[in-house]
Amino acid sequence: MCVTCGCSSGSNSDTHHHGDHSHDHSHGNQKTIIDVEKDVLQQNNLLAERNRGYFYAKNIFALNLVSSPGSGKTSLLERTLTDLKGELEFAVIEGDQQTSNDADRIHATGTKVAQINTGKGCHLDSHMVLHAIEGMKLKDNSILFIENVGNLVCPAMFDLGEKERVVIISVTEGDDKPLKYPDMFHSSTLCVINKTDLLPYVPFDIEKVKANAKKVNHKLEIIEVSCTSGEGLQDWYGWLKSKMLVPETV
């Protein structure tokens, strides 16, 4: 008898795998057990790798921007696209449940933009991004911002093919957010703390949020900015430029 599945060995042989062992045996009433051993997110991961390969080949630096709604993702983008216009080449994918409001804001800066409406969906997935980039004719040696749906939980699980994941938190939120939503902070490489101009007016302890973020991800880089006053934006721009690979001249 197989100790893993409890069925007895017999003459009708079915090849049978249990992860680390396999054997042949029968299931009297023609039942077959199929060992799938597949990640349920395999399809997403596969398409994410496809996107990643495309970005790599074209030397596109793709960023997945994640946060709760209202942290200022779109404002940070508007500011960045305006300030670095002419210096770097950009394109943007906007993810929202409904409307093209964010895409309209990005479009106003003169940047190429695609809007994905997820409808009832709470996150972007690699398949949606694949379709968005198909129509975008992205330029080589450019930066692609993918602004995810405002949600600190669900997007954490879905690789889009990005090079870096950037989590944005604003000082009007709680400084314990990294502990409350650890998956997102754990899977990100950079944390941007936004709206620092409001620090005098809110009970937000910036050192505490940094400590909390480091608790769930000790490798997390942290940049403090204010899109309103412009404070700290140079650090963010410096980070972006440092990540842009200089194309080799042949």
Partner 1 sequence: MHEVSIVMSIIDIARQQAEKASASAIEEIELDIGSLSGIELSALDFAWNQAVKETVLENAKRTINHIEGRAECLDCNTVLQYNIITTLVHLAGDT
Chain residues binding partner 1 by CB under 8 A are: 31-32, 34, 36, 38, 40-44, 121-123, 125, 153-158, 179, 182-183, 186, 214-218
The 3-class secondary structure across 132-159, one letter per residue, is HHHCCCCCCCCEEEEECCCCCCHHHHCC
Shortest approach of partner 1 to residue 32 CB, angstroms?
A: 6
> Using CA atoms, how far apart are residues 159 and 157, in angstroms rounded to an integer?
7
Of 113 and 152, the one with the shorter C-beta distance to partner 1 is 152
Q: How far is the CB of 216 from partner 1 (least distance, A)?
A: 5
d(CA 149, CA 20): 40
Compute the distance between CA of residue 192 and CA of residue 224 in angstroms, rounded to an integer: 6
Find out whether 158 and 125 touch, Cβ atoms under 8 Å.
yes
Report the SS3 class of residue 225: coil
Distance in Å, CB of 147 to partner 1, minimum: 18
Nearer to partner 1 (CB atom), residue 41 or residue 84: 41
Minimum distance from CB of 40 to partner 1 (Å)? 5
Shortest reach from residue 70's CB to partner 1, in Å: 20
Please, which residue, 122 or 245, has the CB nearer to partner 1? Answer: 122
The pairing of beta strand 164-170 with beta strand 61-67: parallel
Please say which residue, 77 or 152, places its beta carbon nearer to partner 1: 152
| Residue (40 or 250) nearer to partner 1, CB | 40
